[in-house]
Amino acid sequence: MDDLVKALGMSGVSKSQVSRLCGELDERVGAFLNRQIEGDWPYLWIDATYVKTREAGRIVSVAVIIAVGVNTEGQREVLGLKVGASEAEPFWTEFLRSLNRRGLRGVKLVISDSHEGLKAAVSKVLKATWQRCRVHFMRNALAHAGKTQRRMVSAAIGTVFVQDTAEAAKTQWRSVADQLGAKFPKLSALMDDAENDVLAFMTFPMAHWAQIYSTNPLERLNAEVKRRTNVVGIFPNDASITRLVGAMMLEQNDEWSLNRRYMQLEGLQTLCDTPPTRLSAVAR
């Protein structure tokens, strides 16, 4: 902080001034991350990125979990942030319960990478459908094919996602899995296991498919987190991670609030648990 202030042409800052600034920032970030969540949020994206911190004299990698939701008005917000030592089920369960305690409701679909702990927590806490990120799945699938065969495999699986209905997609999925099975038995087994999770998005309104089949809406956000945290390198503790990333999320949320609606309203009201309030006619 002192080096930064001097680079701006000023004389520097004292430790007490830095502490005061950090305290003020912690207060703002804390208020943002603990605010009440109002309304229904049918779609929830969750992803993790990793940063380095010091713990008991050692340098360890910790997960920074970010949750972004879209409400029934089509507006997007950062709903939660948590720093933890692992991505085991208890960690995910507590994170989701903390969102519930703040008022999260109406979640119908959770989109994430394939974390068994998160999948179990989603079923237990939110009782929502889980969508396995299609982009991450394709990376896992192509790992079972040789370099010269990956384009063919990608094109074959891609035929599934151009289908117009969930039923047609499932039929095509089975056909592709059977065709690839003889040459790529491990890939075929992967497709057998992942079918329902990768195609879950197709049971929701078609107008939303392009946004809910993957964690792409979080990728740009995570890339910016990595860019800013890489400058720091190694954090002194978890609180400093929450301070920096939380301030970024607060800034991003303010920016989103000024932008146009993120998702089309078409179909969103059908996912709402709370019936819309209708005003009775007033006699003239």
Other CB atoms within 10 A of residue 153 CB: 20
Residue at token pair 């879950």: 200
Mean pLDDT of the chain: 89
CB 160 within 8 A of CB 127: no
Average pLDDT over residues 165-171: 96
Q: Can you give the pLDDT at residue 70?
A: 96
Average pLDDT over residues 208-224: 91
**Three-state SS at 129:** strand
Sequential DSSP letters for 175-242: HHHHHHHTT-HHHHHHHHHHHHHHSGGGGS-GGGHHHHSSSHHHHHHHHHHHHHHHHH-EESSHHHHH
Q: Can you give the pLDDT at residue 209?
A: 95
Tell me the HSE value of 106 on the side-chain side, using a 13 A CA sphere.
21
CB 65 within 8 A of CB 96: no
CATH of domain 37-133+221-264: 3.30.420
Average pLDDT over residues 27-52: 94
Q: Domain segments of the chain: what residues? A: 1-33, 37-133+221-264, 134-213
pLDDT (tens digit, 9 = 90+) per residue, 86-103? 768 889 999 999 999 999
Other CB atoms within 10 A of residue 73 CB: 14
**Three-state SS at 42:** coil
